[in-house]
Structure 1
Amino acid sequence: MTEAKQKLGVLCSGRGTDLQSIIDAIGREEVDAEIAVVLTDKPEAFALQRAERAGIKAVCVNRKQYEDREPFEEALIEELEDAGVTLVVLAGFMRILTPVFVRHFAGRIMNIHPALLPSFPGAHAHRDVLAYGVKVSGCTVHFVDEGTDSGPIILQAAVPVLDGDTEETLGARVLEQEHIIYPQAIQLYCEGRLQVDGRHVRILD
């Protein structure tokens, strides 16, 4: 008897390009999972259209309709649980999740960050990278803990920072790598090959 596929719940706030990379990887059978639901916090998020085009359930849980974070996150949790989600995938979700949400899905939330963590956490990674003058940047897939971009690192990819780079040009090169390593990290999870030991994530053979 084959094991049930992991059911992904993908949270987005904007264009959904990382979502699209996961949809495409599943279509190529490179990720053995199904996307059970896509959630956005903004009704104008293009990620909703990407999901609908792919025949995936898409729901907007509009943050502006909730007075504070607790009922907003309760609504997110309810949608994820109703869809039977086993792995929460943050894909450009621009909200800091509270410990309540993180504990509910402890060890089952991934995020991708457009810098080489632990350097340059937060919402303005490309700007901060360029301001600091580093020569190499990249992206990081990590498990989410109760801090900001501080969870155990799963995969990273590096890109050079070029003279004359802008946030847009650097961001485009980093995004190409995001679209490669995020599906890879999800597949490793699906295969049961990620072992978390404190801060270390070991990839099992």
Structure 2
Amino acid sequence: MKIAVFASGSGSNFGAIVQALKTGQLKGVEISLLVCDRPDAYVIKRAEQEGIPVFSFQSKEYAGKAAYEQAILRHLREREVELIVLAGYMRLIGEALLAEYEGKMINLHPSLLPAFPGKDAIEQAFDYGVKITGVTVHYVDAGMDTGPIIEQRTVVVEAEDTLDTLAQKIHQQEHQLLPEVIEKVAAGKVEMVGRKVKMR
């Protein structure tokens, strides 16, 4: 399955996908494209080092969301992308991408949704004082982290945890869970029935 990874920052989850492919933990998948909305983001260097094609853009150079999403779609079609993986992509997906990829787009979020959606989820959970938080991979819909949940992993918040140590534990789970879910989706093991997601 040809996938495109969308990212906005350093790309540690992109790196985890690449590593899982190299070690054979993730099979049946090829990263055909990286899409990045920040031309200075480190994830672009990661992709270039691996010889993975990159489409980077700045939203301000387009008339609006529909315009830059149409530009993204042209690159996705050119690369025959079958699945979009949002891995630290900090923009809400609009109608243009959803129309073509709804049910074929997944997102990684650093909390146990529906708790703590949106930005700074790890900090939100830490400040709230929860004892258990975690990681969610879900299908993307028009809302903010509201799509059907595919899989979740829990992370215990210890009394001695700081925001930094909690973030490290969350990222560790992210790097394990995301490649696992991608492989299941690529293998046709994931079925969405309404809001419920079942594993075949």
Aligned counterparts of 1:155 and 1:66: Cα–Cα separation in 2:
35
Match status 1:141 vs 2:153 = no
Stretches of structure 2 lacking an aligned partner (at least 5 in a row): none
- Give the alignment partner of residue 18 of structure 2, picking from 20, 23, 29: 23
Q: Which amino acid aligns with 2:20?
A: A
Aligned counterparts of 1:12 and 1:167: Cα–Cα separation in 2:
22
Q: Is the 8 A contact 1:12 1:94 kept in 2?
A: yes
Stretches of structure 1 lacking an aligned partner (at least 5 in a row): 1-5
The structural deviation recorded for 1:58 is 1.5
Match status 1:81 vs 2:77 = yes
Aligned to 2:183: 187
Aligned to 2:6: 11
Q: TM-score, normalised by structure 2?
A: 0.95
Q: Which amino acid aligns with 2:12?
A: T
Q: Is the 8 A contact 1:61 1:75 kept in 2?
A: no
Aligned to 2:194: 198
The structural deviation recorded for 1:150 is 0.8
Q: Is the 8 A contact 2:55 2:72 kept in 1?
A: no
Considering only aligned residues, what root-mean-square deviation do their CA atoms show, in Å?
1.1
How many equivalent pairs are there? 199
The structural deviation recorded for 1:90 is 0.5
Aligned counterparts of 1:167 and 1:12: Cα–Cα separation in 2:
22
Q: Which amino acid aligns with 1:105?
A: Y
- Give the alignment partner of residue 169 of structure 2, picking from 166, 169, 173: 173
Is 82-91 or 164-173 further displaced after alignment? 164-173
Q: TM-score, normalised by structure 1?
A: 0.93
Aligned counterparts of 1:114 and 1:155: Cα–Cα separation in 2:
12
Q: Which amino acid aligns with 2:103?
A: G
Aligned counterparts of 1:161 and 1:154: Cα–Cα separation in 2:
23
